[in-house]
């Protein structure tokens, strides 16, 4: 039972007495449908903790932390590089063609950059 109007920490919609749980990670309440006979949405998960055999609850943001940058995420195309630098794609392409920016051009003519190079380029440009 909730006494005060509370809202889901994930989607910000109001919680109902049959559809909320408290996240064991951040301590906020979120939607968790506890009744299989009632339509409800789940903004998190519940599972059995094998250590203490109790129920653990966690909201989606706590279950899915922001993805850690992996090598593929560190590869940007021209538009992404331009967006990251706040520049125009044409300018980035010109800098790449001029050898000012390390890049790889695919067989299809797509420019690929590594995030580190873009960041280095950005800090050089600012100085």
Cβ closer to Zn ion: 11 or 122?
11
> Among all chains, which residue has been given the structure tokens 């300018």?
91
CB closer to Zn ion out of 59 and 81 = 59
User: Token pair of 89, please?
Assistant: 């794609």
For Zn ion, give the closer residue by CB, 24 or 115: 24
What single-letter DSSP state applies at residue 100? S
Nearest distance in Å: CB 67, Zn ion: 17
Q: Report the C-alpha gap between 96 and 101 in whole angstroms.
A: 5
Binding site for Zn ion (CB under 5 A): 8, 10-11, 23, 25-26, 31, 43, 59, 62
Q: How far is the CB of 81 from Zn ion (least distance, A)?
A: 34
What are the strands, taking DSSP E only, across the chain?
A: 20-22, 29-31, 44-48, 55-59, 75-77, 104-105, 111-114
Min separation Cβ 6 and Zn ion, Å: 11
């Amino acid at each position: 039972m909730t006494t005060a109007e509370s809202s889901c920490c994930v989607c910000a919609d109001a919680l109902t007495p049959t559809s909320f749980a408290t996240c064991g990670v951040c301590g906020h309440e979120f939607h968790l449908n506890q009744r299989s006979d009632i339509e409800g949405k789940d903004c998190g998960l519940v599972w059995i903790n094998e250590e203490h055999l109790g129920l653990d609850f966690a909201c989606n943001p706590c279950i899915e932390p922001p993805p850690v940058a992996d090598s593929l995420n560190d590869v940007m195309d021209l538009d992404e590089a331009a967006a990251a630098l706040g520049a125009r794609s044409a300018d980035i392409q010109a800098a790449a063609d001029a050898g000012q920016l390390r890049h790889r051009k695919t067989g299809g003519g797509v420019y690929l950059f590594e995030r580190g190079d873009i960041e280095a380029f950005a800090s050089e440009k600012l100085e």
